């Protein structure tokens, strides 16, 4: 028998599969298709202090081996999430869930985490620092080690739950930012978020997406994700959640060999809602093929 179990910041998971925020709603939508309790966990839709209406349409552009999206932080706001979304989630998911939190100022992050902190089902906070800092000239918090560390410290001060910082790959030195978050008290690092991409429509001769550019995800970005997980694993001592282009059991093994303790699946959920169950079901076969008895033994195995 092979063991699919893994551990993320002190919480044991039945398997390493975690659908990524923004590709799985609040879980109950997918619960109509399959029993989502088979997942390790999932990261729910990015939540902000106030309701967000997202970006103008069109927001999606298909491309070879990937997808570009510019949905924006569309969500009902933390109060409505507590009131409406989490009770529906609780009815169909009986494991700790990852709360993905976004903000446009340090105070936004702190407010949202404080509001969600008393929810017993929330096991981890995944803090998305790819948001534009409205008080810092609009540059993303995640592009500066100092800004990422400031958010990390502020959030850590208002919760005892594990804080996993989700980093943007659109930087020159991912390692410096990961180390700054670790030094500021982060319990884990999640990477990567989407790359920046765009498509141009040949008929209209204009960008396909109203926002011009958007987050590029899908299988084409996996080599970048594996490289960044590998680099960060060499530099930090805290666990890593790896993701980016994962769509098979083989991809999960590769991400864990690079250094991931758990693995997120994003765009694949949008292509095939059954992507995660299929990967979980196939993991034992692939583990046996490569002589792997216990997934925990291979974390960072490529180093």
> Minimal CA–CA distance to 25: which of 211, 168, 33, 188?
33
DSSP assignment string, 239-297: -EEEESS--SHHHHHHHHHHT-SEEEE-HHHHH-TTHHHHHHHHHHHHHHHTT-SBGGG
Q: Phi-psi category of 154—alpha, beta or left, where left has phi over 0 and alpha has psi -120 to 50?
A: alpha
Integer angstrom CA distances of residue 25 from 19, 22, 113: 10, 6, 18
* Strands 200-201, 66-69: pairing kind: unpaired
Beta strands in the chain (DSSP E): 6-8, 11-13, 17-19, 60-63, 66-69, 97-101, 122-128, 163-166, 188-191, 195-197, 200-201, 206-207, 214-217, 240-243, 262-265
Please return the burial class of 172, using the count of CB atoms within 10 Å of its CB with bins 0-12, 13-18 and 19+.
Answer: exposed
* Bridge partners, residue 232, by sequence: none
Looking at 9, 131, 181, 276, which residue is catalytic?
A: 131
Buried b / exposed e over 252-261, threshold 16 CB at 10 Å, is bbbbbbbbbb
131 is catalytic: yes
Active site residues: 131
């Amino acid at each position: 028998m092979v063991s699919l179990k893994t551990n993320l910041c002190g919480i044991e998971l039945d398997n390493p599969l975690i659908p990524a925020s923004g590709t799985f709603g609040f879980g109950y939508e997918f619960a109509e298709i399959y029993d989502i309790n088979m997942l390790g966990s999932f990261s729910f839709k990015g939540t902000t202090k106030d309701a967000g209406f997202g970006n103008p349409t069109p927001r999606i552009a298909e491309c070879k081996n990937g997808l570009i999206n510019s949905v924006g932080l569309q969500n009902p706001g933390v109060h409505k999430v507590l009131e409406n979304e989490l009770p529906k989630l609780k009815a169909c998911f009986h494991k700790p869930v990852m709360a993905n939190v976004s903000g446009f100022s340090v105070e936004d992050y702190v407010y949202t985490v404080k509001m969600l902190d008393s929810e017993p089902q929330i096991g981890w906070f995944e803090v998305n620092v790819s948001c534009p800092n409205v008080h810092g000239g609009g540059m993303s918090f995640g592009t500066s080690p100092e800004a990422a560390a400031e958010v990390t410290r502020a959030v850590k001060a208002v919760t005892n739950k594990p804080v996993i910082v989700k980093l943007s790959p659109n930087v020159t030195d991912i390692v410096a930012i990961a180390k700054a978050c670790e030094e500021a008290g982060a319990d884990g690092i999640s990477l990567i978020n989407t790359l920046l991409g765009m498509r141009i429509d040949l008929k209209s001769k204009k960008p396909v997406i109203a926002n011009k550019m958007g987050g590029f995800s899908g299988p084409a970005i996996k080599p970048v994700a594996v490289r960044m997980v590998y680099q960060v694993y060499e530099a930090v001592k805290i666990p890593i959640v790896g993701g980016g282009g994962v769509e098979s059991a083989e991809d999960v093994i590769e991400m864990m060999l690079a250094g991931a303790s758990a693995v997120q699946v994003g765009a694949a959920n949008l292509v095939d809602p059954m992507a995660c169950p299929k990967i979980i079901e196939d993991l034992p076969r692939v583990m046996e093929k490569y002589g792997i008895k216990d997934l925990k033994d291979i974390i960072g195995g490529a180093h």
